[in-house]
A and B are shown apart, each in its own frame.
Chain A
């Protein structure tokens, strides 16, 4: 059992959990993920590390409520626990002094971009961060990400806060005004990472994305997470999760992410029926 030591509601559909997991915290590196299973009948799902604390022996995970597992998670409070956390998995982000880098976080992707931005900052880079959400009430960690960035640009799709628009617009502007950008790291929904990659391509700037494919074991055993990168099949769990965004076959990734839409809906409907009291 992995105990929740703290829970914070970042917004109505996004929760932040601090779990007791000292062994994982000791080994965690920016860009890595864990696989969790909430209960005995639960699915195994991957979540990228949002933070960790070696002294405290904790790891931080941020999850948006989208289906059975994340809703189950959302019903838990500090003091409760989940059955399994496996990790740290995947290869860590490449962290070195590149010069000036742009970190883009979209939606819940702001959580995993935070430790990467922090590591890049600590490695001596100038970090320009761009974070975006659909609307103001879905924004979180503005201060946290701002705290490890030299410059922070915030967007909302509907203009309810800060700049109106999507992250690719300021991304393009920063690339246009600053020809010294050596790397872009983008994490968020597949469609956002795809368009970030398309935006940076004409500038010839290396663009790293963290792919969020469906996984079962997360250790290279099943091949469920396979993607095509530069025409070669890769496993996100062991070869990634980070890849060159200009080489990723985005349509394949998005098609594979939709593989179980029907079943996910059915599972969630059943769960809601049985747990209506906390599914609000």
Chain B
């Protein structure tokens, strides 16, 4: 009797997991010690970096997080992957609270939700070949396929998946262009076949063409493998072309969030309007420079 109850409970959680969103974030808050205000002999006062951030990311969904420097967007990326565990609020992954995960569940969570960093030069080990960097997650978790013990074949496939030639695997990161390095970062994030990518400013520092290639790649991954995406950027135009939902952060707080098309067509908040107007569109407009948006 009790066995059957157990079975039904398991069945229902499995059902819940299927219907629960991939990521459900509620009232997330994070504070860090403010070292600038630290008294000499005592602990630094805490400073709020993120306050009351909530959103839902469905499987295969795309959320754009927009913010300028100091808005807390990189901290949000770290909080979501529990590299900086938030003090307040909850993150639920497929209906289960990430806070309660044991070590094994946390490893599983981090394989499913992968972070791609802003600066590939500091995120890639300069002394290792690209193929070793890309296959490292497989090696670390003992998931290298049989007959490919050094990961060369797996790395080659991953590199080809992000539009690079497998031969690039022999090179070191410094011998690649900025756009290629960023794609190596994405290839590594894809190694464990995650459900979601959290991309933190991955196109800043690239020129327009390399940027357009990364966006095309992310779009293709989403279409072909149903990869969900949290795309963190200061570039509203890129977010517009990639994301269904947007969330606009300012000094750690959500200014405006919702359907991307609606927000871009009718921004309600003055800060959103100001951000939109500050983007120089490639169209001559002599009045733009002096225009102030209230």
Decide whether A and B assemble into one complex: no
Q: Which residues of A come within 8 Å of B, CB atoms?
A: none
